[in-house]
């Protein structure tokens, strides 16, 4: 599960983005990145590793801008590395994309894009979106995003920034969560409510199959391929600590109860139908897979405080 954060307003975007990402660290991640609209273009900083690594990079080479997006990645396609960290850009760096989830059909899309002259810089499934938006863009960013996602299958949340449309952020939800936070003259976007609570308690949940266009003054929501949606904001009455524990007395209790959903979200987008499991990152010959009789699931847990990495 990755974290998504977006900001459009009057304040410097980067501290808001980094604070939001930090509040979602409990979701787990292996890399992080931010992008802001700056001087008519888009500037990106990203890195494999902890958020503190990204913070150091941003301190060394600051980013100025009042519109931006941020991401913590949990790799599904392409190992954790600086290049594979989000945001991902189109060929000219005019469009950047962050994404939570899986684009199931990214391989044929990538092959088609390469054949049409696009240059890829990462091994992620996400990067196809940036290039598909680049191809579809004819002056209308939401329409280009809609055309791009219409070509994809999978389960995801996608957030897009364009240097050619610098006063808007466009987001699409297909299963993975996205929540808009309403401020005064500023609007926020996050994968989870705790990231929004330091700024606002007025939120709007983006539902499945919806596209949201954020400006400083509000959000316009529409159904993908359909009409406008009118949704009233709801008010969050609980505090950030309670929100993070989601009604449980302890984080460990919460995490134990989250296991079915975590497994479901991990497999989401890898089950094209109920007879097939698509593990396209696993490069094993079919005969070998057919001969398997037993499967162990092994997790690498970092125990830095005790004795270094351990297997369970």
* Residue 68 Cβ vs ligand GLU, minimum distance, rounded to whole Å: 18
Phi, psi of 115 (to 5 degrees): -60, -30
Task: Pick from 23, 45, 73, 131 the residue near ligand GLU by CB under 6 A.
Answer: 73
Three-state DSSP at 217 gives coil
Please identify, using beta-carbon distances, which residue of 9 and 68 lies nearer to ligand GLU: 68
The residue within the footprint of ligand GLU, chosen from 26, 49, 74, 240 (CB under 6 A), is 74
148 phi-psi bin (left φ>0, alpha ψ -120 to 50, beta other): alpha
For 149-182, letters b (16+ CB in 10 Å) and e give bebbebbbbbbbbbbebbebbbbbbbebbbbbbb
List the one residue from 55, 102, 133, 195 that touches ligand GLU (CB under 6 A): 102
Please identify which residue in 27, 46, 94, 99 interacts with ligand GLU, judged by CB under 6 A.
Answer: 99
User: Could you say which residues in the range 209-268 bind ligand GLU, by CB under 6 A?
Assistant: none
24 vs 163, which CB is nearer to ligand GLU? 24
In the chain, what is the straight-line distance between the N-terminal and C-terminal CA atoms, in Å?
Answer: 20
Candidates 10-18, 48-56, 76-84, 133-141 — which segment interacts with ligand GLU by CB under 6 A? 76-84
* Cα–Cα nearest to 188, from 223, 214, 209, 168: 214
The residue behind tokens 């920034």 is: 161
CB of 29 vs ligand GLU, minimal distance in Å: 7
Size of interface with ligand GLU, in residues (CB under 6 A) = 14
**CA–CA distances in Å: residue 143 to residues 136, 140, 213, 225, 260:** 8, 5, 11, 10, 36
Applying the rule CB under 6 A, the residues between 122 and 161 that interact with ligand GLU are: 124-126
Are 67 and 14 in contact by the 8 Å Cβ rule? The answer is no
Indicate whether 2 belongs to the interface with ligand GLU (CB under 6 A): yes
With CB under 6 A as the contact rule, which of the stretches 41-49, 118-126, 163-171, 191-199 interacts with ligand GLU? 118-126
Q: Which stretch binds ligand GLU (CB under 6 A): 8-16, 98-106, 207-215, 293-301?
A: 98-106
Strand-strand pairing, 31-38 and 41-48: antiparallel
Pick 178 or 182: Cβ nearer ligand GLU: 178
Cβ distance to ligand GLU smaller for residue 38 or 72: 72
Question: Considering the complex, what minimum distance in angstroms separates the CB of residue 242 from ligand GLU?
Answer: 26
Euclidean distance between CA atoms 52 and 58, whole angstroms: 10
Q: Around Cβ 231, how many Cβ atoms within 10 Å?
A: 13
Minimum distance, C-beta of residue 133 to ligand GLU, in the bound complex (Å)? 16
Name the residues that contact ligand GLU, by CB under 6 A: 2, 73-78, 99-102, 124-126
């Amino acid at each position: 599960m990755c974290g998504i954060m977006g900001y459009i307003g009057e304040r410097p975007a980067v501290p808001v983005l980094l604070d939001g990402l930090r509040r979602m660290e409990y979701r787990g991640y292996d890399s992080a990145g931010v992008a802001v609209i700056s001087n008519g273009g888009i500037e990106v900083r990203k890195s494999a590793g902890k958020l503190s690594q990204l913070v150091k990079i941003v301190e060394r080479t600051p980013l100025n801008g009042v519109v931006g997006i941020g991401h913590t990645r949990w790799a599904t396609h392409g190992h954790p590395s600086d290049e594979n960290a989000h945001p991902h850009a189109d060929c000219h760096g005019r469009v950047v994309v962050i994404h939570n989830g899986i684009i199931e059909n990214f391989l044929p899309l990538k092959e088609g894009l390469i054949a049409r002259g696009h240059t890829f810089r990462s091994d992620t499934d996400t990067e196809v979106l940036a290039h598909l938006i680049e191809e579809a863009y004819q002056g209308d960013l939401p329409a280009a995003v809609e055309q791009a996602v219409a070509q994809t299958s999978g389960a995801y949340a996608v957030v897009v920034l364009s240097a050619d449309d610098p006063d808007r952020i466009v987001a699409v939800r297909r299963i993975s969560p996205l929540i808009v936070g309403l401020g005064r003259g500023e609007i926020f976007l996050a994968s989870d409510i705790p990231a929004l609570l330091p700024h606002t308690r007025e939120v709007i949940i983006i539902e499945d199959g919806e596209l949201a266009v954020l400006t400083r003054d509000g959000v316009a929501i529409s159904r993908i391929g359909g009409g406008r949606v009118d949704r009233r904001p709801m008010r969050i009455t609980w505090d950030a600590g309670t929100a993070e524990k989601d009604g449980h007395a302890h984080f460990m209790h919460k995490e134990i109860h989250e296991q079915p959903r975590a497994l479901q979200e991990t497999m989401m987008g890898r089950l094209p139908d109920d007879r097939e499991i698509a593990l396209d990152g696993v490069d094993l010959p079919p005969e070998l897979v057919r001969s398997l009789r037993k499967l162990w699931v092994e997790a690498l847990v970092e125990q830095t405080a005790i004795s270094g990495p351990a297997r369970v």
